[in-house]
Structure 1
Amino acid sequence: MSLQRIVRVSLEHPTSAVCVAGVETLVDIYGSVPEGTETFEVYGTPGVNIYISPNMEASRERADTRRWHFNMGLEIIVVMNSPSNDLNDSHVQISYHSRDEPLALAYAVLYLTCVDISLDTDMNCDGNVERNYVDKRQWVWGPSGHGAVLLVNCDRDDPTCDDRDNCDKRVRCLEDLQDMSLMILKTQGPAALFDDHKLVLHVSSFDAERARVFHACGPEDSCETYRYVLGQNKVSYVVPRFSGDEERFYIEGLSFPDAGFSGLITFHVTLLDDSNQDFPESPIFTDTVVFRVAPWIMTPSTLPPLEVYVCKVRNNTHFVEAVAHLARKAGCKLTICPQDENRNDRWIQDEIELGYIQAPHKTFPVVFDSPRNGELQDFPYKRILGPDFGYVTREAEEDLVTGMDSFGNLEVSPPVTVGGKEYPLGRILIGGSSYPRDVSREMLKVLQDFLFAQKVQAPVRLFSDWLSIGHVDEFLSFVPAQDGKGFRLLLASPSTCYKLFEEKEKEGHGDVKMLEGVKKKGNMMIKEVLSDKTLRQHNQYAESCIDWNREILKQELGLTEEDIIDIPQLFRLKMVVSKNELKAEALFPDMVNMLVLGKHLGIPKPFGPIINGQCCLEEKVRALLEPLGLKCTFIDDYFTYHIRSGEVHCGTNVRRKPFPFKWWNMTP
């Protein structure tokens, strides 16, 4: 769709004009009118459609049906639908008449050359580039929407290169083109027209910083064919005339949506009249297409797992073996980060989050590297980034980064519907304070801006600052289920633990100790846990914080109590010297901080009271989860993770299958 062009005719000499197939041209006949004119007639050669309209809103009528009364309000509209074979091979003739004279007072002739110009992309998101008569200037969400999709070309297809594919201005290997979006410029018309006309592809300087365009200028089986034509410091490109009618352009994204960038990038092609060497070119026609940069999408723990990541450090051999065993049972690939690369940083969940980006023609995983920059900081860039595996990060000043910016504090729910509003890709969950305070901890604004800008997984803020580490994965997780909403939300629950212990005391097991086999002294008996007033107050506080989040999650995810399973857990408060505040940490291994691999769950072994040969905490969790078809494996992480304020989930990470739902079919 393009703006109408106005062409003025003359009585003194014929006028020539270029029109574009399918685009309306307004003919102004009022600038030069013979005296005494009362009516006029308009005729055109075959292929020229002429209409008369009182104004733009009123219905129009074919011009050759009758003689028209001369009225300044009338508009003459000319449309050609097929390109010309030669210059000026069509024309329009206007004759001016008076009431008394039988012959025309004068004639005006407009010679027309029609050219067909179209800038085409995959507007229907069906993987095909074809002409589409929707408004290409608009990007419309939803199953009935339209608009082209652009990937941030953030993988590294050439293994000999040290950087991501979009960090230089060249095509290093042909596989790189598969990550780009195709845009085709089609032109049909007399070749001689372009002796004094030219086509210019152009973009705004703002958008040029966020996308790069390559022109295929020869055989497409050679990297040298692809010429860098638009991007940073290059906002326009005069398209050379080759023998064909089709020019192919490949576009790569440089930036994800973020604060100040909606993700929309607009490209234009303009036909310019360059026939008068004494004056600048004048525009005749512009075609426009809009791309949306594909968002980075997180995958919830309910999606099928593909690959498990874990770090091998000095003292966690048995832990790694347990994770490997679980990965084999789930049919997952296992990737171990060796000690010489992790330098004893075992917290791979905090370092990265694994998601993906998707266009109709291509989907690939993208690792989001947190700004925590521990000893693992080089692993995602050096080992995960590669062919069809992208990388993105957000940096901040080192003294501003806190534990809240680690990605144990970043989770995503399964798909939910809330009050009729669908979230088919789930909702991101991030932790922080319940209200602003001088000493409150929040995730960095640069991270929150990025997450909110992706639009498709509208984030929810939770209260996690009550915890010593402060991560949402310390009190919640999601597991798949075959019924209901297709999942259950697991919440850590002190009250459920107290209720279980009270039942065991009534059964005569009050003297049974916790943490047998891992602690040599100070092991509390069930009756001591129940009688410890300070510990109970600590857990009443923890329960109130979890309940605050419970209500937020029910409201923001559209959950009911039937969708939630309470997992027994106790906490204790400790003074955090740097904050001069009491913060909570798990009293025994935190069972909601689990590894979910389909129906296989790797749960921190709680070392609860052994009754009748079984840990009563494990027995309770099995009773809660195994009826859902889940299989519970309890992994000993006490000395390797728990005493360092983390658990199984903190020490692992998972790449999962993308959602079957296509993000462009949703309405944010």
Structure 2
Amino acid sequence: MPKKPLPSPLLFSPARRRATGGLLTAALLGTGLAVGVSAHGSSDPPDRPRLLADTDRDGRPTERDEAGKGEWHDGRGAIVLPNLDDDAGRCPTLDPDGERLTDDRLAACHDGADDAVAGAEDAADLAPLLLVGADTSPTARATLTLDEASTEHAGLFLRGTGPDGEPTHTPLPDDGELTGEQLVEGAEFALEVRDFVRDPERWDGFVDVTLTVTDRGETHRDRVRLKVAPLLLTHDLLPVERMLVSDNGTTPEQVERADYDPQAPVESRLPGEAEFRADLAAGLAEAGLDDRLLAYPTGGDHWLRDQFITGYAVAPGPDGEPRRLSVLLRSADVMPEGSSADFPLRDGGRPAFTLFRGADTAVIQEFTADRVGDDAHSMLWGSFSSTGNFLVTPPYRTETTDFPAGRVLYGSDGELAAPDPAFTGLLAAQGEQDPLAVDTSWLGVGHIDEFLSFVPVDNERGWAALVADPGWGWRLLTEVAEAGGGDQPLVRDVDPELTPYPGLTVAAALEHPQLRAGTELATAGVDAALAVLTEELTLTEEDIVRVPALFERLEIPDYPRQDIVANHLPAVANGVQPGAEVFLAPDPHAPLDPSGADVFQRATEESLARVGNRVAWVEDWEYGHGVGTVGGELHCVTNAFRDLSAVEPWWREEG
């Protein structure tokens, strides 16, 4: 959505203010335009120049912003977006010699990386500041400066008008010196913030702008405080705008060297890909989301949820309309056997920059550099850093907590089986979604989405946790055998050679040591996770929807983690919620009951129907589930841009 330029407030010199009289002044205040009068509405000129920011969050600095402008709290205080997008499309994809940019150089380009303001779109991402003029002597001296901690992360511009009538933005000199004319007549300025908070001990996200005036032997200071908007991750109940699937025939480097259209038809390259795409498109259509698929070039690394996770930042804007910045946060997954100082991260994350960074969309990355080259660590523990290991609850409120943007969840044992600490530290530093670690070290891949999702429900909080239930899956198989179906194949309608145990029947599965052990281990793991979630999220049984699952214990020689499991049948819980009352789930290929229904499908449909949801089944056995030692499902092989228009402000209204 195009950004509206900030309306220029009227600035009066003290002499002109005295000539206009109180009636005109009162009329201007009624419009919300800033004039040089006291906070009480008097027509007397102020004693000295003052500085104003958008403290009341109505989108522009006015006299109403005087009270409390030097402080910041949830109910009052100016907010600024980080200027990390690329409004004019200036960021290159190759260096001048035609070589690939390093990961660091690719991420370093954005609108805040220089002292230029590239047009009205870029200017709209800056926070307005207003210097209200006053009578000062010809010898008065003044500066406008930032606090020391913010100087690396922010900059100040003087706003003006060029010969062509277009707005101009001139960087303030390093000393921040102002002119005598600006002190008397007033002036408009703009604050640019160039990053999110990453390490609160180095910078906490607050910016103090101080006006210092020395006149007639006295020095006075006037300060406003602003806060950078936090990075918030999107939750999966927001409506899907576009669903991303991998273009497995185009590499990230090819996209950096040539134009690419994500909406163009893509040739299916991997086994099962065509059927998967067709079912996914049909499921989205059932949810009322036709023609939503976008291609994302990975060259075959088709685990799209592991490449980046979507987020946003929002701040108050003019006319009461919020200003939003879409943010893609690249995975901190350092790949084994291939990471280098120049290209440390998974290559499939790079198209987030080259394809999607642009106007109102930023892409950032955060990882621990000393992990690069440690192939042993990356091979054994690196998957915990994949963004598929991160979920966000929908918004909720309890008697003691309030999460208007939802809460981040991720899998970790708090030791080696944990994501990159710099990445989780970035999320924690935002101060709004309070990342919660849940032990997933019992899972082979270790991703929280292997057993957990969320669906909309008509209850007090508006949603429920969709949770894999291994015990229920085992009981369903037992019922099939007791009803005379024990000689059925455990995996229905799949080439036996594509299954882990070709020819395994239901009866034999119930005696299979790896499946029995997998059920016990997974049951304990899910129960422990639910204990954390019910306590931390105050979930009740009404807030949990269970679906059947079947796990197996993995046998991986010389692997440091033993007694780990993977979903043996496609994980129903690892589906996609498109923001409608239709849940897209992988076809579990479970045995049939006496009526001819897939027992996992029937149980899932009944469970979700009780809370007002339908299921659209998607075939993913060859494309996702059966790949490699562990595989993955719909949530793993897709990603989504979601509609941000309905997200609630993260800040609280005063009073």
> Matches of 2:460 and 2:384 in 1, distance apart?
32
Output the amino acid matched with 2:633.
Answer: E
Q: Is the 8 A contact 2:128 2:191 kept in 1?
A: yes
> Matches of 1:577 and 1:293 in 2, distance apart?
49
> Matches of 1:411 and 1:287 in 2, distance apart?
43
Q: Which residue number corresponds to residue 347 of structure 1? A: 303
> Matches of 1:636 and 1:379 in 2, distance apart?
27
Q: Which residue number corresponds to residue 53 of structure 2? A: 121
Q: CA deviation at 1:115?
A: 3.6
- Where in structure 2 are the equivalents of 1:320-469 lying within 5 Å? 320-332=277-289, 334-338=292-296, 341-361=297-317, 362-372=323-333, 373-397=345-369, 398=372, 399=374, 402-433=382-413, 436=415, 440-469=416-445
Output the amino acid matched with 2:214.
Answer: L
- When residues 130 and 550 of structure 1 are mapped into structure 2, their CA distance, relative to the original with a 3 A threshold, is same
> Matches of 1:643 and 1:221 in 2, distance apart?
63
Sequence identity percentage: 25
- 1:517 and 2:499 equivalent? no
Output the amino acid matched with 1:125.
Answer: R
Q: Is the 8 A contact 2:582 2:615 kept in 1?
A: yes
Q: CA deviation at 1:533?
A: 4.2
> Matches of 2:423 and 2:79 in 1, distance apart?
23
- Where in structure 2 are the equivalents of 1:110-259 lying within 5 Å? 115-131=47-63, 132-141=65-74, 145-162=75-92, 163-189=109-135, 193-219=136-162, 225-229=168-172, 234=174, 236-239=176-179, 241-242=181-182, 245-259=185-199
- When residues 331 and 126 of structure 1 are mapped into structure 2, their CA distance, relative to the original with a 3 A threshold, is farther
Q: Is the 8 A contact 2:394 2:406 kept in 1?
A: yes
> Matches of 1:620 and 1:416 in 2, distance apart?
28
Q: Which residue number corresponds to residue 637 of structure 2? A: 651
- When residues 554 and 81 of structure 1 are mapped into structure 2, their CA distance, relative to the original with a 3 A threshold, is closer
Deviation string 1:622-651 (CA, Å, 9 cap, x unpaired) is 111123332211111111111221111011
> Matches of 2:439 and 2:551 in 1, distance apart?
16
Q: Is the 8 A contact 1:174 1:221 kept in 2?
A: no
Q: CA deviation at 1:447?
A: 0.8
Q: Which residue number corresponds to residue 536 of structure 1? A: 516
Output the amino acid matched with 2:235.
Answer: P
Q: Which deviates the most, 328-337 or 619-628? A: 328-337
**When you count strand as a share of all residues, which structure comes out higher?**
1
> Matches of 2:550 and 2:40 in 1, distance apart?
77
- When residues 243 and 268 of structure 1 are mapped into structure 2, their CA distance, relative to the original with a 3 A threshold, is closer
Output the amino acid matched with 1:334.
Answer: R
> Matches of 2:558 and 2:277 in 1, distance apart?
33
> Matches of 1:579 and 1:466 in 2, distance apart?
13
> Matches of 2:186 and 2:241 in 1, distance apart?
41
Match of 2:224 among 272, 283, 289: 289
- When residues 184 and 441 of structure 1 are mapped into structure 2, their CA distance, relative to the original with a 3 A threshold, is same
Q: Which residue number corresponds to residue 584 of structure 1? A: 565
> Matches of 1:656 and 1:389 in 2, distance apart?
13
- 1:602 and 2:578 equivalent? no
- Give the paired residue count: 540
Q: CA deviation at 1:298?
A: 1.3
Q: Which runs of 5+ in 1 are unaligned?
A: 1-20, 22-78, 86-113, 276-281
SS at match of 2:651: helix
| Bigger Rg, structure 1 or 2 | 1
TM-score (norm 1): 0.76
Q: Is the 8 A contact 1:117 1:186 kept in 2?
A: yes
Q: Is the 8 A contact 1:171 1:223 kept in 2?
A: no
Output the amino acid matched with 2:244.
Answer: Y
Higher relative contact order, chain-length normalized (CA < 8 Å, sep 6+): 2
> Matches of 1:424 and 1:562 in 2, distance apart?
21
Q: Is the 8 A contact 2:286 2:616 kept in 1?
A: no
> Matches of 1:451 and 1:472 in 2, distance apart?
17
SS at match of 2:84: coil
Deviation string 1:578-612 (CA, Å, 9 cap, x unpaired) is 63332211101111110111222221111111333
Q: CA deviation at 1:476?
A: 0.5
> Matches of 2:557 and 2:366 in 1, distance apart?
29
Q: Is the 8 A contact 1:213 1:252 kept in 2?
A: yes
- 1:475 and 2:410 equivalent? no
Q: Is the 8 A contact 1:350 1:650 kept in 2?
A: yes
Q: Which residue number corresponds to residue 214 of structure 2? A: 272
> Matches of 2:351 and 2:244 in 1, distance apart?
11
Q: CA deviation at 1:220?
A: 9.6
TM-score (norm 2): 0.78
Q: Is the 8 A contact 1:431 1:465 kept in 2?
A: yes
Q: CA deviation at 1:376?
A: 1.1
Q: CA deviation at 1:550?
A: 0.4
Q: CA deviation at 1:160?
A: 3.9
> Matches of 1:80 and 1:628 in 2, distance apart?
55
Q: Which residue number corresponds to residue 661 of structure 1? A: 648
Q: CA deviation at 1:303?
A: 2.0
Q: Is the 8 A contact 2:159 2:169 kept in 1?
A: yes
SS at match of 1:545: helix
- When residues 547 and 138 of structure 1 are mapped into structure 2, their CA distance, relative to the original with a 3 A threshold, is same
Q: Is the 8 A contact 1:414 1:427 kept in 2?
A: yes
> Matches of 1:129 and 1:335 in 2, distance apart?
42
Q: Is the 8 A contact 2:160 2:168 kept in 1?
A: yes
- When residues 484 and 217 of structure 1 are mapped into structure 2, their CA distance, relative to the original with a 3 A threshold, is closer
- When residues 653 and 81 of structure 1 are mapped into structure 2, their CA distance, relative to the original with a 3 A threshold, is closer
Output the amino acid matched with 1:556.
Answer: E
Q: CA deviation at 1:549?
A: 0.4
> Matches of 2:164 and 2:324 in 1, distance apart?
23
> Matches of 1:160 and 1:290 in 2, distance apart?
31
Output the amino acid matched with 1:635.
Answer: V
Q: CA deviation at 1:246?
A: 3.1
Q: Is the 8 A contact 1:345 1:374 kept in 2?
A: no
Q: Is the 8 A contact 2:242 2:294 kept in 1?
A: no
Deviation string 1:36-95 (CA, Å, 9 cap, x unpaired) is xxxxxxxxxxxxxxxxxxxxxxxxxxxxxxxxxxxxxxxxxxx9997988xxxxxxxxxx
Q: CA deviation at 1:408?
A: 0.7
Q: CA deviation at 1:167?
A: 1.3
> Matches of 1:449 and 1:382 in 2, distance apart?
26
Q: Which runs of 5+ in 2 are unaligned?
A: 1-13, 15-38, 93-108, 249-268, 318-322, 334-344
- When residues 666 and 587 of structure 1 are mapped into structure 2, their CA distance, relative to the original with a 3 A threshold, is farther
Q: Is the 8 A contact 2:70 2:225 kept in 1?
A: yes
